[in-house]
Amino acid sequence: MVAQRVRTRFAPSPTGYLHVGGLRTALYNYLFAKKMKGDFIIRIEDTDQSRKVEDAQQNLIKTLEWAGIIADESPEHGGSFGSYVQSERLHIYREYCDRLLEDKHAYYCFSTSEELEENRQLQLKQGFQPKYNRKWLPEEMGGAMPSSEIRKKMEAGSPYVVRMKVPDYISVWFEDMIRGPVEFDSSTIDDQVLMKSDGFPTYHFASVIDDHLMEFTHIIRGEEWLPSMPKHLLLYEFFGWEPPRFAHLPLLLNPDRSKLSKRQGDVAVEDYIRKGYSCDAIVNFVAMLGWNEGEGTEQEVYALQELIDKFSLERVGKAGAVFNVEKLNWLEKQYIKHRPSADIINTIRPVLAAELAKRETLLSVDVITGDHYLEQVIELMRERVGFEHEFVTFSSYFFFEPESYEEEAVKKRWIPETNDLLREFTAELEVLEPFTAETIESALKAFVAPKGLKAAVLIHPLRILASGVSFGPSLYHMLEVLGREAVLRRITKGIDLISVAE
Ligand code: GLU
């Protein structure tokens, strides 16, 4: 027997942004397909026209591509199974619906929404789980509705839906790749609507038909779709199709173990991109939401290719996965620590260009936008920033003059002699050759020692004048990178300002 080529799909509804849960579903489908040397496909499920959002399809695909999840077939990239947008496949669903009607697995239903609601309320009052009462189930299918009545409604052009007839008293069973065997009792299953009155199929109907026609071998999706399984399996049975394999992913939880919600933080992938998280960290983080490599490994940082190599559905847990932003922040820092500076430069150059368009700098633009300067800033700040853009925003003193000085720090670090000491030391810096971290450090130590002072007496004020803030990388290295001219200018200007304030 020739093994079938693995095909998986991510099937988002274009109703807005890409949810982090959606990214995880897409990623697991992608990892699994690539690991198995198969294909990953994106299909757009837009059968609920009232929820459709302009541009959502393009945004979803763009965000996935940003994360490195590139589909082999998609509405954008084309494919061999016709359109990958469900609203462009209506004729196909109609054809299959007719087949079910003919085979008496489905029937027309003319119940109005008021009637359905009345029926629902009644059943709730009686303590039953609400289900369609099968008012329109035809006589020849075991119901009470004569075919003449159905024909009359049809001829009058009354709106209708098509419902599947769920067989009574059978049990529906399947083996979930994550959960193991799952069984459902058909008496709890409603006669699901397959075609809506607007002529569009429901999600359940369209997705089963497409999953079959597009030859998917594995359906990997969120746990919220598990209760829909019996309806889907029955459809496979009605059509005589062999179902693909299924894997339902665990829920994403807030740290308090409630279901991940907008109220407790951002859930749109775009929000995280906007904040400056890198695709490597997000993908790594999302991959770990429910999957781990197994006992005996301490590894937490994975590149996409490594995830592809190591991913397996057997290692996806059943229990809800906690979405812990602290972990994401930690991962982001790990990535920044190890990313080649050339890559960081590529990210921060546009950030710097945008800042330079807004503010003037007294430094040489050619120097501060050059590779050499940026590399030095990156090496000094790698361990200190949380996001790549912070190389520019958090340590803006490498690019712009400080606009103010931390008030508390000035109060704490200035003694009456500070400005005189700074003036005297500045004279030494003016002639120091070469102007490097080592020479500045030795000069400073040699300057304070004979005076019986500690180095800190100058270290803190120098840092504050050069950067505006009381924290940062090694002072001596920072001064070297800034260069003699900028350092002297900043000290002189700062002394004047601070003495005026005194
Ligand atoms: N369109 C469904 C969703 O938005 C897809 C569910 C499935 O993967 O079957 O989640």
Which of 28, 43, 29 has its CA nearest to residue 207? 43
- Using alpha carbons only, give the angle 366, 367, 369 rounded to the nearest 5 degrees: 70
Q: What's the rounded Cα separation, in Å, for the pair 404 and 398?
A: 15
Residue 169, pLDDT score: 73
Does residue 387 belong to any structural domain of this protein? yes
Q: Does residue 394 sit in the same domain as residue 420?
A: no
Over the chain (502 residues), the average pLDDT of each successive run of 10 is 88 95 98 98 95 93 96 89 95 98 98 95 92 96 96 97 91 94 86 96 98 98 95 96 98 91 86 95 97 88 96 95 95 96 96 96 97 98 96 96 94 94 97 98 97 96 97 97 98 85 49
- Pick the atom of ligand 1 nearest to 211's CA: 9
Q: Give yes or no for a cis peptide into 244 (omega within 30° of 0).
A: no
Q: Does residue 412 sit in the same domain as residue 393?
A: no
Does residue 31 belong to any structural domain of this protein? no
Residue 2, pLDDT score: 66
Last residue of a domain, one of 349, 374, 398: 398
Does residue 105 belong to any structural domain of this protein? no
Last residue of a domain, one of 364, 398, 432: 398
Residue 304, pLDDT score: 95
Q: Does residue 411 sit in the same domain as residue 497?
A: yes
Dihedral sign from CA coordinates of 274, 279, 281, 283:
positive
Q: Say which of 262, 337, 412, 454 is annotated catalytic.
A: 262
Q: Whole domain around residue 441: which residue ranges?
A: 407-501
- Give me the number of domains the chain comprises: 2
- Where is 174: in which H helix or E strand? strand 171-176
Does residue 293 belong to any structural domain of this protein? no
Does residue 365 belong to any structural domain of this protein? yes
Q: Is 48 near ligand 1, meaning CB less than 6 Å away?
A: no
CATH code, 390:
1.10.8
- Enter the tokens of residue 218: 């594995």
Q: Whole-structure pTM over 0.85, yes or no?
A: yes
Does residue 240 belong to any structural domain of this protein? no
Q: Does residue 394 sit in the same domain as residue 418?
A: no
Q: Does residue 413 sit in the same domain as residue 360?
A: no
| Neighbouring-strand partners of residue 19 | 268
Q: Does residue 380 sit in the same domain as residue 434?
A: no
Q: Does residue 440 sit in the same domain as residue 485?
A: yes
Residue 187, pLDDT score: 76
Q: Does residue 444 sit in the same domain as residue 495?
A: yes
Q: What's the rounded Cα separation, in Å, for the pair 285 and 61?
A: 20
Tell me the CA–centroid distance for residue 41 and ligand 1, in Å.
13
Q: Does residue 417 sit in the same domain as residue 497?
A: yes
DSSP letter assigned to residue 299? -
CATH code, 449:
1.10.10.350
Residue with tokens 């120097």: 367
Distance from CA of residue 262 to its chain's centroid? 13
Which of 321, 323, 221 has its CA nearest to residue 263? 323
Does residue 446 belong to any structural domain of this protein? yes
Residue 9, pLDDT score: 98
- Pick the atom of ligand 1 nearest to 15's CA: 4
Q: What's the rounded Cα separation, in Å, for the pair 95 and 213?
A: 13
Q: Does residue 358 sit in the same domain as residue 419?
A: no
Does residue 346 belong to any structural domain of this protein? yes
Tell me the CA–centroid distance for residue 22 and ligand 1, in Å.
9
Q: Does residue 411 sit in the same domain as residue 481?
A: yes
Last residue of a domain, one of 349, 367, 398: 398
Q: Is 207 near ligand 1, meaning CB less than 6 Å away?
A: yes
Which of 449, 367, 369, 463 has its CA nearest to residue 409? 463
Q: Does residue 353 sit in the same domain as residue 389?
A: yes
Residue 493 among the catalytic residues: no
